[in-house]
Amino acid sequence: MTPPFEGSAREVGLELRRLLAQAGPRAVHTAFRRMFTKDAVAWDRAVAQKMRGPLHLDTPKDPGADLATRSGALRGARFSEISGNDLTTLTLRKGSTSPYARLQELGGTIVPVRRKWLALPTSEVLTASGVPQRPGPRSYDLEFVKKANSDDTAFLFEKRAKGSSSPSRLMYVLKKRVEIPARPVYQPAHEARGAARLKDLRRFLVEEMAKGTRGRGGAR
């Protein structure tokens, strides 16, 4: 059984330094690869869990809440990979291939590029999972209404049939810019593993050194 791994950060560092000095290159490489593998699995699980929040259409989002799942594309874009065949090149990379991941993680400002307005769909044009039912505003017969005393907000209402007394449905809110608050997921999941990462490395070093000792003993 691996001895308990406790103590201050300085003691932890000294213990790991001693083990690294005693272990051979093969044991160190294998221990780091095992640690990276376990770290990648734990990180992936933590990130996926933070992207399973409930979807609340047309209501303000709590910056501290889990990210809501719409299409699942962002959650499915996370990755972790280990590369390198020796200690100088051994690397663990974790992140996302989604172009939206950085914006969700760090926050930022979205402005229209090709058109005058950003069209934000309401629940009237979204499915129950929050995915647009049609490609965009041009797929509907809509009426433009400017918000009073505002230059950066307008609305697109569904055009009513002649003689209809039913209220018009608000289909899109138009904005000149939208501020996206930072909602970090990837970095916190990485930082949460700090102490456990060192603990795992220490355990794997001890185990790999023990394997090497048994191997030398059996060769005699």
Asked if residue 3 and residue 78 are part of one domain, the reply reads: yes
pLDDT in tens, 156-214: 999 987 777 778 899 999 999 999 999 899 999 999 998 899 889 999 999 999 987 76
79 pLDDT band, cuts 50/70/90, is very high
The answer to whether the beta carbons of residues 48 and 67 sit under 8 Å apart is no
Asked if residue 196 and residue 154 are part of one domain, the reply reads: no
Q: What is the pTM of this model?
A: 0.76
**CA-CA-CA-CA torsion for 100, 101, 102, 103, nearest 10 degrees?**
50
CA–CA distance, 121 with 101 (Å, rounded to integer): 21
Asked whether the predicted pLDDT for residue 10 surpasses 80, the reply is no
Asked if residue 204 and residue 143 are part of one domain, the reply reads: no
Asked if residue 88 and residue 121 are part of one domain, the reply reads: no
Domain region containing 70: 1-104+184-220
CA–CA distance, 86 with 65 (Å, rounded to integer): 40
Asked if residue 205 and residue 121 are part of one domain, the reply reads: no
Asked if residue 4 and residue 91 are part of one domain, the reply reads: yes
Tokens for 138, please give them.
Answer: 């041009």
- Indicate the SS3 state at residue 20: helix
Asked whether the predicted pLDDT for residue 56 surpasses 60, the reply is no
Asked whether the predicted pLDDT for residue 133 surpasses 80, the reply is yes
Asked whether the predicted pLDDT for residue 14 surpasses 90, the reply is no
Most distant CA pair in the chain: distance in Å? 99
CA–CA distance, 59 with 4 (Å, rounded to integer): 48
The predicted model gives 121-149 an average pLDDT of 91
The pLDDT, as a whole number, for residue 4 is 42
Tokens for 17, please give them.
Answer: 């330094």
Asked if residue 172 and residue 121 are part of one domain, the reply reads: yes
Helix axes 194-219, 25-49, angle to 10 degrees: 150
Asked if residue 140 and residue 68 are part of one domain, the reply reads: no
Asked whether the predicted pLDDT for residue 89 surpasses 60, the reply is yes
Asked if residue 74 and residue 3 are part of one domain, the reply reads: yes
Asked if residue 118 and residue 18 are part of one domain, the reply reads: no
Asked if residue 146 and residue 39 are part of one domain, the reply reads: no
The pLDDT, as a whole number, for residue 5 is 40
Give the Cβ contact number of residue 177 at 10 Å. Answer: 11
Asked if residue 95 and residue 174 are part of one domain, the reply reads: no
Give me the number of domains the chain comprises: 2
